[in-house]
Amino acid sequence: MSMELTAVLSGNRYPGRGLVLGCSADGDVIAAYFIMGRSTNSRNRIFSRTADGIRTEAHDPALLADPSLIIYHPVRDTKDGLVLTNGDQTDTIADAIANGGSFESALFTRTFEPDAPNFTPRISAILAADGSYKLASLRSVNGDGSKTCRAFWEYPAAEKGCGHFLHTYAADGNPLPSFSVDPEEVTLPGGSAAEICQTIYDALDAENRISVYVYRLHDGAVDTAIINKNA
């Protein structure tokens, strides 16, 4: 039985980075991505728009200590659909698709993040024009960084108000425990992209939330919104 997305978010102080795809309560195709952070380096970020999606940037370049896992393109539009991920595998997927490859083939060239002892999962999604979508997670099998588990899920266009939520961490902790089960089935809110973006942002832990992006396809027209804590 699905739970309200807001209840799932508010019930987890630190889901980390998250992807949500599905159909809003109003019947619109929805995709969302959010980031959270505990360190100064992670919290020093904003989402900015690009020609084909968004990228993360340092809010204060003077505070940027290590860009390797925090500066990337979370969202890129491709001929196969909208790609959303929590790292630079967005570019791996987009490049593969441009050269005749696929979402799946691209992710077989990647693994989880090299951030021991967390070994953060790489989570990815692709949203097709018909509202169907795929999700994927690349995570450490035993939490020791020795082997990679690659899990893929494929969903038809969702019914009104339904969606799936995939995130990096099961909860807060040291080290952070990876989210390692199927994507959570959730009930999605309605409204404009800006209203849904605000709903997600408000449900995230106020101390750790950083940025939220929402894509909404309404009557064939794209509507997007961004909220940055570091506005």
d(CA 49, CA 54): 4
* Domain harbouring 55, CATH code: 3.60.20.20
Domain that holds residue 47: 3-228
CB 104 within 8 A of CB 125: no
Cα angle vertex 5, ends 25, 223, to 5°?
50
Q: Quick one: pLDDT at residue 231?
A: 86
- SS3 state of residue 196: helix
What confidence category does residue 134 fall into, taking pLDDT thresholds of 50, 70 and 90?
very high
> For the whole prediction, is pTM greater than 0.85?
yes
Q: Which residues of 20-36 are buried (b: 16+ CB within 10 A; e: fewer)?
A: bbbbbebebbbbbbbbb
pLDDT tens per residue, range 143-191: 899 999 999 999 999 999 999 999 999 999 999 999 999 999 999 999 9
Mean of the pLDDT values across residues 100-123? 98
The two tokens of residue 112 are: 């989880």
Q: pLDDT digits over 183-219, tens only?
A: 999 999 999 999 999 999 999 999 999 999 999 999 9
Count of structural domains within the chain: 1
Strands of 45-50's sheet in order across: 45-50, 53-58, 75-78, 81-85, 122-127, 133-140, 148-155
pLDDT given at position 46: 98
Residue-wise pLDDT for 44-82, tens only, equals 999 999 999 999 999 999 999 999 999 999 999 999 999
- Find the mean pLDDT for residues 6-28: 98
CB-CB contact of 122 with 113 (8 Å): yes
- Given a cut of 80, is residue 133 above it in pLDDT? yes
pLDDT of residue 141: 95
Backbone Cα Rg of the chain: 16
